[in-house]
Amino acid sequence: MKKQYKTYQETEQYLQHVVSQHPNLFKLQSIGSTHEQREIMLITASFDVEKAESKPALLYTGTIHAREWIGNELAVKFIEYIVDNHEYNPELINILSRNTLYMVPCLNPDGFEYSMKHFSFWRKNRRLNHDGTYGVDLNRNFSVGFPGSKNTSSNVYSGPQPFSEPETQAIKQFVDSHQNITIALDYHSQGNVFFPAHKFNHEAEHEGTDLNMLCANMARKIYKVTGRKYGIHRGKPPTNLIGGSGREYYYSRGILATVVEVGTRNIPDYMQNMTQSINENIPAVQYALGEAINYSTHAPKRVTELNILKIESKSATLTWTYEEDEDIYFEIYRNTKNKQACTESNLVGITHAQEFTDIELDSGTMYFYYIRAVHRLSNIKSPFATKIRLKTLLDHNEFSRVLFPGKSNVGYVGQYTGEQNRQHFGHNSLFIGINQSKGICTGVLEFSLDNIPENAVIKFARASLYPMNRVAAKIEQFGDWSISFLEQDNVADITNFEDIEQAESIETLGQTVPSDALTQGIWSHWTFSAHECRILESNLAKRSVLFRIDGPKTLPLGRDSQMMQFDIGYGKFGGGIHYRPHLEVIYTVPETEVVLSPTRLCSLSKKGVVENELLSGFSENDGKTYGYIEFNLYSLPNPEETVITEAFICLQNKNTPPSDRDICFNLEFVDMNAISYSDIRNRTNIEYVGYEATTQDLVRKQKQYFIFDKYSQLTLEEKHESNEAAAFVIRATSESESYAKLIDWHEAGHKNEVKLVVKYIKRRKKPTAAVTELKASNENGRMKLTWANPPTKAFVGTYVVRNRFRPPRSPYDGVKLYAGSDNYTYDSFGSSKISKYYAAFSYDDVPNYSEPQVIHYEAHQSTAEKPSN
């Protein structure tokens, strides 16, 4: 197998040959030499290569860890790809005309050769340490976050001081002297995941959106080739973030930098796995190279003042400010999941304006928005604006809940871990799959349904898990992971492996997830079908629902692990409230129906008003005649808590017009203090209710139903809220008013033949009062927030969010810090050295969210103040 991989000498010889054949396209140089006096080779690729330094550039480094051969192998294959396609591929031609590639196939030549010829698992370089041991982990030897480890035998020994090694000195000197580098890719194995750079805090930064989108779009290119999904994981609290790596050093120099972890083994089967990894990453590297110019001084400025102007149930409006430039337009991308690619498929708007309304959205749904400025002549794009996250409002008849399992209701049970299984609940990650030490491991999730009414009608449900590590899933394209409903009545103990493993599975949620579709650092979601929503409804009477998470239950010969690790939010390795498994539910409740009889009905014509009759049509002597109906709405409940879900007026025609006469009858709202023929006749504002009834309708059936549309329902609610009667007229229309025909809609003494049917649910329409006295103070480096909750009966809790860039207009636009009925919380992972906004939203049981109370914390202050706007 090793013979299929190129040695360092073979790589060097190949690069020399390429340069000799294409001197205007490639240039080869040594940027330094190693302890064993091997040259560290860097190849430059660009059209008119002598001018390469004048173009924006991508830096590629590979095999900084000796046993991770993919970096060197992919570099060679990418150079081959350029050689074969630079004359014919229009995309590659455009990229090489505008950008430069700096490629170091192997940054650790000594370690790489030692790994190939002596000990394949070798990781470090070949420095002879003072105590006779060998090697420094070059990816811990950079200055940013230098760990300063002392154990020279450790695989992650960082060296005596930063840049103590000739390899890291060489790449540092090259990067420092090439200001045109805008993007850096550092290729490693294993994990099928991107690890973008960070700044050793857990605060957002503008470049964070750029990094996630760079990785997401590269991941999309990979997926198009093999269908494999790569994760994106920047690190999360309370994880100790890796220090001393090249990635963070490049990032500190203003370069977008990410590690790319490829495959599931350091040295995989070349023909079966390595070729796949190479083929899927070639278009990804090409994409990243093409992006270099978009992060250079040639690019338009980033949109920096992106805000939410308005959120409705079916639409959202964004606004931003930008220096006026007739050559600039804006691309708006919309995603329904975080860290999804921004491509043509989700480009929802192109505009020169500085406002955009996105329409036809789903209610109660999370959306992520990204914006770039684009120069219309050069087509160079700006970096991304900091993403906006929002959730559309619920529809008028909807409620929502996000359910979390308690600590004792989430964990995993292992085949061989016996009594330890009880300790796996609320204190450890979810390990799902199989390995040699634990055996089969199965996850358990139990959610209380106490916050959802037993008679709820579930419209939408989705279960979500956060994959935090897939390194132990070592086998490509082997096994599936799934979530299923369990028959909980037969489970005596959820911490017992046999009870869970042998429990009856009622239904598996959606599709199983194959191993190559499992990601790390990106939420996995299982959306319920309509049938699965009915199963969830059947559990409402039991007040809880139990799920089992299954993975592979066997291992191929010679393999020791196929295990995924999911976060539970609790315990030593838990990421807190942001990473807990959860179940989202949107539901409604059964309607109540009330039938209203009219309080007044009459006919209006030139001759005047005739009470207690209901005629409409055309009279030979009096011209057009209108029918008038009035309903008192007092019998409907409290308008603040009544949502009309359906309404219609039922009329019965006592006679019919001739079938050859084309007459239509409309039911219309009227809003008038005094009712007279002239008032009705001369109206300018006409509001139709439902569809018209035609001559054919009246001939075919005697009962006519005028069903209220959405606008008519809202008008009816407005009448209810203002304690007004609801008044309507029946108006006949025809191309000619010469037809002498009146339709009788009412028989004297039978008012119940005319009726208004209203269906409604009890639900608050408006949010409760906002919180007051929001304050933030720095307590020993940790931010404490306090506020006063509104003293209203409808108040349920307060939702607190942090946003570094703008005052949050949505409770979802930022990092959630707290949701509950207390009046204080701590920002445990925010930095007191970074300015930011905090917002608090009160909410009721729908939930409807109040307008935010916002304060701005300045890093040099000990307390925060309300922003001046």
Take residue 274 and report the two structure tokens written for it: 């390595």
Q: Are 619 and 605 contacting, i.e. CB atoms less than 8 angstroms apart? A: yes
Per residue in 644-697, pLDDT (tens digit) is 999 999 998 888 777 667 788 999 998 766 678 888 888 877 888 888 888 888
Q: Which of 562-571, 680-689, 697-706, 855-864 has the lowest mean pLDDT?
A: 855-864
Residue 1: pLDDT band (50, 70, 90) is very low
Peptide bond into 514 cis (omega under 30): no
Helix (H) or strand (E) holding 78: helix 70-85
Q: Are 371 and 332 contacting, i.e. CB atoms less than 8 angstroms apart? A: yes
pLDDT score of 517:
86
Distance, CA of 249 to CA of 142 (rounded, Å): 7
Distance, CA of 576 to CA of 261 (rounded, Å): 26
What size, in residues, is the chain? 869
Distance, CA of 465 to CA of 568 (rounded, Å): 8
CB burial of residue 771 (10 Å; 0-12, 13-18, 19+): buried
Section 483-496 average pLDDT? 94
Q: Which of 732, 604, 747, 755 is nearest to 657 (CA)?
A: 732
Peptide bond into 405 cis (omega under 30): no
Take residue 50 and report the two structure tokens written for it: 């002598």
Per residue in 408-434, pLDDT (tens digit) is 999 999 999 999 999 999 988 999 999
**Position 238 pLDDT exceeds 60:** no
Section 15-21 average pLDDT? 98
pLDDT score of 235:
66
Per residue in 756-812, pLDDT (tens digit) is 999 999 999 999 999 999 999 888 878 899 999 999 999 999 999 999 999 999 999
Q: 100-104 and 57-62 as β-strands: parallel, antiparallel, unpaired?
A: parallel
Higher pLDDT, 735 or 334: 334
Take residue 839 and report the two structure tokens written for it: 């917002």
Section 142-157 average pLDDT? 94
Q: Are 336 and 345 contacting, i.e. CB atoms less than 8 angstroms apart? A: no
**Position 863 pLDDT exceeds 60:** no
pLDDT score of 856:
94
Section 232-245 average pLDDT? 72
pLDDT score of 868:
42
Section 24-35 average pLDDT? 98
**Position 84 pLDDT exceeds 50:** yes
Residue type, 747: E
**Position 62 pLDDT exceeds 80:** yes
Residue 866: pLDDT band (50, 70, 90) is low
**How far is CA 61 from its chain centroid?**
31
* C-alpha pair distances (Å), 759 with each of 88, 637, 646: 66, 12, 5
Per residue in 475-487, pLDDT (tens digit) is 888 999 999 999 9
Q: What is the mean pLDDT of the chain?
A: 92
Higher pLDDT, 440 or 693: 440
Distance, CA of 443 to CA of 409 (rounded, Å): 10
Catalytic residues: 261
Q: Compute the Cα dihedral for 669, 674, 679, 684 and give only its sign.
A: negative
Distance, CA of 768 to CA of 270 (rounded, Å): 62
Q: 231-232 and 193-196 as β-strands: parallel, antiparallel, unpaired?
A: parallel
Share of the chain above pLDDT 90, in %: 78
Take residue 510 and report the two structure tokens written for it: 């959606």
Distance, CA of 72 to CA of 112 (rounded, Å): 9
Per residue in 171-181, pLDDT (tens digit) is 999 999 999 99
Please report the domains of the chain, with CATH numbers, ordered by start residue: 2-295 (3.40.630.10), 307-393 (2.60.40.10), 402-588 (2.60.120), 592-762 (2.60.120), 772-857 (2.60.40.10)
Section 153-174 average pLDDT? 97
* C-alpha pair distances (Å), 519 with each of 508, 513, 514, 558, 561: 20, 10, 10, 24, 17
**Position 836 pLDDT exceeds 80:** yes
Distance, CA of 533 to CA of 78 (rounded, Å): 48
Residue 869: pLDDT band (50, 70, 90) is very low
Distance, CA of 494 to CA of 411 (rounded, Å): 9
* C-alpha pair distances (Å), 684 with each of 96, 270, 313, 643, 670: 65, 78, 30, 29, 11
Q: Which of 308, 312, 311 is nearest to 388 (CA)?
A: 308
pLDDT score of 695:
84
Q: Token match 């009146």: residue?
A: 742
pLDDT score of 577:
79
Distance, CA of 404 to CA of 409 (rounded, Å): 9
Per residue in 359-375, pLDDT (tens digit) is 999 999 999 999 999 99
